[in-house]
Amino acid sequence: MSKYPVLTLPPEIVSEIFTHLLPVYPLRPPTSVLRSPTILSHICSRWREIALTTLALWRAISIELIPDDECLRPQPGYLESLLHILETWLARSQSCALSIALVDWVYVSVTAPFVRAIIARCNKWEHVDLHVTPDLVPLFNGDMPLLRSLRFTLQEAYPDHRTPSIFQHAPLLCAATSFTSFPSELVLPWAQFTRLSLECVRQDSCSQLLRQMPNLVHCRLQFVGSSCVLSP
């Protein structure tokens, strides 16, 4: 008899237990602390095999490109390690629909590899949270047949005050949250949205935008410089 009774459990039971370690999907687990699924693959060879074949463990990931406070540049090796984690998780998720967050606080030159990595899987996106600079916006227009919800933060106004058309090939996309003062600059498939939340938005940019959403059911607006939130 095994010294550790847990090792006698059938693999499918262990796999189910593993999934309960994580936040409820589409919430995303951290990548490098105790609640990361990676730790399960470092306990023993049997658990590693089960973890690597439990695809649902790897379908949600949050990547934050945070520089250090002193010089606004990431520590040596930090970005390389983070990119390896991202690529590893994406590979392990295989055919699963994905929940991905990419928060960019650094430079376009170092962010681009992360964007390319997730764009390569955009046909598997189901829920995405993107915090990017205008330079990267044109990349987000592949085929996204599974995409249902979007959180999109544009760090600054687009240079010509109008972004390219993005997320146009996402027929299931019906919910969006945007953090930008000028959401009307975003050329999104507004007509298909049923849920919308706009944060830090200017009042004068809303009226024309809302006219483009005949199917809207739930709407939340928070205006720049105001603590008032409108939720009709």
pLDDT of residue 206: 82
Sorted by where each begins, the domain ranges of the chain are 63-173
- Phi, psi angle pair for 123, to nearest 5°: -70, -10
Determine the pLDDT at residue 4. Answer: 74
Answer positive or negative: Cα dihedral of 156, 158, 161, 167: negative
pLDDT of 70 reads 47
Q: Are 166 and 145 in contact (CB under 8 A)?
A: no
Q: Output 46-55 pairs: Cβ under 8 A, ≥24 positions apart.
A: 46/7, 47/14, 49/11, 50/11, 50/14, 50/15, 50/18, 51/18, 52/92, 53/11, 53/15, 54/15, 54/18, 54/19, 55/92, 55/93, 55/94, 55/95, 55/96
Write down the pLDDT at residue 39. 92
**In this structure, are strands 218-223 and 195-201 parallel, antiparallel, or unpaired?**
parallel
Single out the residue of 21, 89, 93, 26 nearest to residue 54, CA to CA. 93
Residue 73 · residue 67 · CB < 8 Å: yes
Q: In whole angstroms, what is the distance from residue 15 CA to residue 33 CA?
A: 20
How many C-alpha atoms does 124 have within 13 Å on its Cβ side? 19
Q: Distance between alpha carbon 93 and the CA centroid of its chain, in Å?
A: 15
* pTM metric for this prediction: 0.88
- The number of beta carbons lying within 10 Å of the beta carbon of residue 8 is 9
φ and ψ at residue 131, rounded to 5 degrees: -125, 100
- The stretches in the chain having pLDDT less than 50 are 70
Q: Measuring CA to CA, which residue among 218, 185, 214 is closest to residue 201?
A: 185
pLDDT in tens, 125-168: 999 999 887 788 888 889 999 999 999 887 766 555 556 788 99
Gap between the Cα atoms of 213 and 205, Å rounded: 14
Tokens of 165: 């058309």
pLDDT for position 28: 96
